[in-house]
Amino acid sequence: MQLTNRAKVLEKKPMTLAERAYLPAIFQGLSITMRHFFMKKATVRYPEEVRPFSAFFRGLHVLKRDEQGRERCTACGLCAVACPAEAITMVAGERKKGEEGLYREEKYAISYEINMLRCIFCGLCEEACPKAAVYLQPDKMAPPRFERDEFIYGKDRLVEPVSPDERSVKGIQLTPEQASTLRARIV
């Protein structure tokens, strides 16, 4: 039965003398391996050398602060809804008087947890966030750990550090002058 007309009839030819002598084929093979001997090596010597991340690599999450160092997140829950892996949980709370310097909106997240074992790093939370609060950092990964509960990242590990000098490069990028005025305002 012929399904297509692409079938090729292979003719089993007897080997020529050169083929039966093995040696030409062996020399051909040797020249190929010798070419590879001098080629550039594919190895990345990991701890000393790190393979560069792609510019839009989606790594560990961060909860951003605004220009005045206030948390942007308002605990609207859109990221948790968007999350296909159901990795995000949060508890919303109301901002009290005197906390205006801490939280940008009147509602904020008392707790905000991402389970890094569930997360598939798709970045849908980042797209869903209306307040530009949650981002996936392009230069950090969730490191391996020994216990499962260590993979549940709370606000202590997610929220961007307060000090402007420790701000990550992506997101809000401050000039030194802006940083010093911001520091004065926080103090």
Distances (CA, A) of 16 to 9, 20, 25, 27: 20, 6, 12, 16
User: With contacts defined by CB under 8 A, how many residues of the chain interact with other proteins?
Assistant: 15
Q: Mark residues 45-84: x for contact with other proteins by CB under 8 A, - for none.
A: x---------------------------------------
15 near other proteins, judged by CB under 8 A: no
Q: CB 14 → other proteins: shortest distance, Å? A: 16
Instruction: Give 85: exposed, middle or buried? Use CB within 10 Å, 0-12, 13-18, 19+.
Output: middle
43 near other proteins, judged by CB under 8 A: yes
Choices 2-10, 38-46, 86-94, 149-157 (CB under 8 A): range interacting with other proteins:
38-46
Q: Helix, strand, or coil here: 8?
A: coil
User: How far apart are the C-alpha atoms of 170 and 20, rounded to whole Å?
Assistant: 64
Choices 1-9, 33-41, 50-58, 61-69 (CB under 8 A): range interacting with other proteins:
33-41
Place of tokens 């509960």: 149
For other proteins, which is the closer residue by CB, 27 or 180?
Answer: 27
Contact residue for other proteins among 4, 16, 33, 175 (CB under 8 A)? 33
For other proteins, which is the closer residue by CB, 5 or 33?
Answer: 33
* Residue 170 identity (one-letter amino acid): K
CB atoms inside a 10 Å sphere around CB 64: 20
